[in-house]
Amino acid sequence: MNYRADAVTMQVIRYGLEAVADDMGHNLVRMGRTTIVKEIMDINCGVLSADGGILAQAHLCPLMMFSLPTTAAHMLRRIDRFEEGDVIISNDPYLGGQHLLDVQFFSPVIVDSELVAFVANIAHQLDMGGAVPGGVAGGLTEIFQEGLRIPLVKLYRRGEEDLQIFDLIASNIRIPEKTMEDFRAQAATTMVGVKRVKALVRKYGLDVFRECTRMLTDYSEKRVRHFIRDLPDGDYRGVDYLDDDGQVDEPVRVQVNVHISGDQMKVDFEGSDLQTRGNVNCPWACSQGGVFYTMVGIIDPHMPLNDGTFKPIQVTSREGLVTNPLPPAGVTARSQTMTKIVEAMLRAMSEVVPDRVVAGSHGQACTNSFSGIHPETGKRFSYIEIQGGGAGARPGKDGPDGQDLHLGRFMNTPVEAAELENPVMIERYEFIPDSGGAGKYRGGLSLVRDIRFLTDVTWARYSDRQKFKPQGLFGGKEGSKGSLILNPGTSSQKKCKSKGVDQLKAGDVLSIRLPGSGGYGPPEERDPEMVRWDVLNGKVSIESANEQYKVFFDEEMNIDLKATEISRAHAEAVHLGDD
> For 524-554, how does the pLDDT look when each residue is reduced to its tens digit (9 = 90+)?
999 999 999 999 999 999 999 999 999 999 9
Mean predicted confidence (pLDDT) in 392-408: 93
| Spatial distance between the Cα atoms of 446 and 448, rounded to a whole number of angstroms | 7
| Average pLDDT for the chain | 96
Band of the pLDDT at 279, cuts 50, 70, 90?
A: very high
pLDDT of residue 359 exceeding 80, the answer is: yes
412-441 residue pLDDT tens: 889 999 999 999 999 999 999 999 999 999
Shortest CA distance to 460 belongs to which of 96, 40, 139? Answer: 139
Question: Quick one: pLDDT at residue 397?
Answer: 97
Band of the pLDDT at 409, cuts 50, 70, 90?
A: confident
- % of the chain exceeding 90 in pLDDT: 94
Shortest CA distance to 372 belongs to which of 227, 523, 503? Answer: 503
What is the Cβ-side half-sphere exposure of residue 456, based on CA atoms within 13 angstroms?
4
C-beta pairs of 268-272 under 8 Å, 24+ apart in sequence: 268/315, 268/316, 268/317, 269/316, 269/317, 269/318, 269/321, 269/323, 269/324, 269/341, 270/318, 271/237, 271/239, 272/317, 272/321, 272/322, 272/323
30-76 residue pLDDT tens: 999 999 999 999 999 999 999 999 999 999 988 777 889 999 999 99
**Single-letter residue type at 321:** L
pLDDT of residue 572 exceeding 90, the answer is: no
For CA atoms 429, 432, 437, 438, give the dihedral sign.
Answer: positive
Shortest CA distance to 447 belongs to which of 490, 497, 391, 493? Answer: 391
Q: Do 343 and 238 meet the contact criterion of CB atoms below 8 Å apart?
A: yes
Angle of helix 176-204 relative to helix 163-170, nearest 10 degrees?
140
**Single-letter residue type at 490:** T
pLDDT of residue 577 exceeding 70, the answer is: no
Give the CA dihedral 483, 486, 489, 490, nearest 10 degrees.
Answer: -150
| Spatial distance between the Cα atoms of 373 and 388, rounded to a whole number of angstroms | 27
Question: Quick one: pLDDT at residue 179?
Answer: 95
| Spatial distance between the Cα atoms of 24 and 90, rounded to a whole number of angstroms | 19
251-270 residue pLDDT tens: 999 999 999 999 999 999 99
* DSSP one-letter code for 41: -
Question: Quick one: pLDDT at residue 380?
Answer: 95
Q: Do 58 and 21 meet the contact criterion of CB atoms below 8 Å apart?
A: yes
pLDDT of residue 3 exceeding 80, the answer is: yes
Give backbone dihedrals phi and psi of 217, rounded to 5 degrees, phi first: -65, -35
pLDDT of residue 382 exceeding 80, the answer is: yes
For CA atoms 570, 571, 572, 576, give the dihedral sign.
Answer: positive
Q: How many residues does the chain have?
A: 579
Q: Do 83 and 64 meet the contact criterion of CB atoms below 8 Å apart?
A: no
Band of the pLDDT at 410, cuts 50, 70, 90?
A: confident
Question: Quick one: pLDDT at residue 578?
Answer: 66
Least confident piece of the model among 84-98, 200-214, 240-254, 394-408: 394-408
pLDDT of residue 247 exceeding 90, the answer is: yes
Question: Quick one: pLDDT at residue 579?
Answer: 61
Mean predicted confidence (pLDDT) in 148-174: 97
Q: Exposed, middle or buried: residue 423 (CB in 10 Å: 0-12, 13-18, 19+)?
A: buried
Query: What is the SS3 assignment for 468?
Result: coil
Inter-CA distances, 69 with 295, 307, 399, 564, Å? 18, 9, 32, 55
Shortest CA distance to 148 belongs to which of 108, 183, 195, 114? Answer: 183
As beta bridge partners, residue 236 has 258
| Spatial distance between the Cα atoms of 487 and 514, rounded to a whole number of angstroms | 16
217-226 residue pLDDT tens: 999 999 999 9
439-497 residue pLDDT tens: 999 999 999 999 999 999 999 999 999 999 999 999 999 999 999 999 999 999 999 99
| Spatial distance between the Cα atoms of 291 and 423, rounded to a whole number of angstroms | 40
Band of the pLDDT at 239, cuts 50, 70, 90?
A: very high
Q: Do 21 and 45 meet the contact criterion of CB atoms below 8 Å apart?
A: yes
Give backbone dihedrals phi and psi of 517, rounded to 5 degrees, phi first: -155, 165
Question: Quick one: pLDDT at residue 168?
Answer: 97
| Spatial distance between the Cα atoms of 165 and 152, rounded to a whole number of angstroms | 12
Query: What is the SS3 assignment for 440?
Result: coil
pLDDT of residue 104 exceeding 70, the answer is: yes
Q: Do 528 and 559 meet the contact criterion of CB atoms below 8 Å apart?
A: yes
Angle of helix 176-204 relative to helix 7-31, nearest 10 degrees?
160
SS3 sequence, 517-533? ECCECCHHHCCHHHHHH
Question: Quick one: pLDDT at residue 62?
Answer: 83
Angle of helix 334-349 relative to helix 284-299, nearest 10 degrees?
40
Q: Do 165 and 155 meet the contact criterion of CB atoms below 8 Å apart?
A: yes
